[in-house]
Amino acid sequence: MMQEWIHTWTYYDQSPVTFFLVFLLLCVFNLIPSIVAFIRKHRSKWTILFINILLGWTVIGWIIILIWSLSYPGEPNQAES
């Protein structure tokens, strides 16, 4: 009885590996603004990452964060030189 109930609400014929790979791909896509900020050594990279985790799942938030990460990164700090 329990097995029949489980089969009615799950995709039991799909591989869990496929699900995991699609989930991983979506997570990486969601973090593109943060990746860009870290590669460009943006002055606000940690803030961009934090806001990306909080609002990255919304389309408007993701676009705003992407634009912010592509903006002028600012002058390097004296500690970074």
Is 48 part of any domain?
Answer: yes
- Give the distance from CA 65 to its chain's centroid: 11
Give residue 33's pLDDT band: very low, low, confident or very high (50, 70, 90): very high
Range(s) of the domain holding residue 44? 30-74
Is 57 part of any domain?
Answer: yes
Position 29 pLDDT exceeds 90 = yes
What domain count does the chain have?
1
The span from the CA of 35 to the CA of 66, in Å, is 10
Residue type, 53: I
Average pLDDT over residues 31-58: 93
Is 69 part of any domain?
Answer: yes
Of 49, 29, 40, which Cα lies nearest the Cα of 70?
A: 40
* pLDDT computed for residue 53 by the predictor: 94
Q: Is 23 left (phi over 0), alpha (psi -120 to 50) or beta?
A: alpha
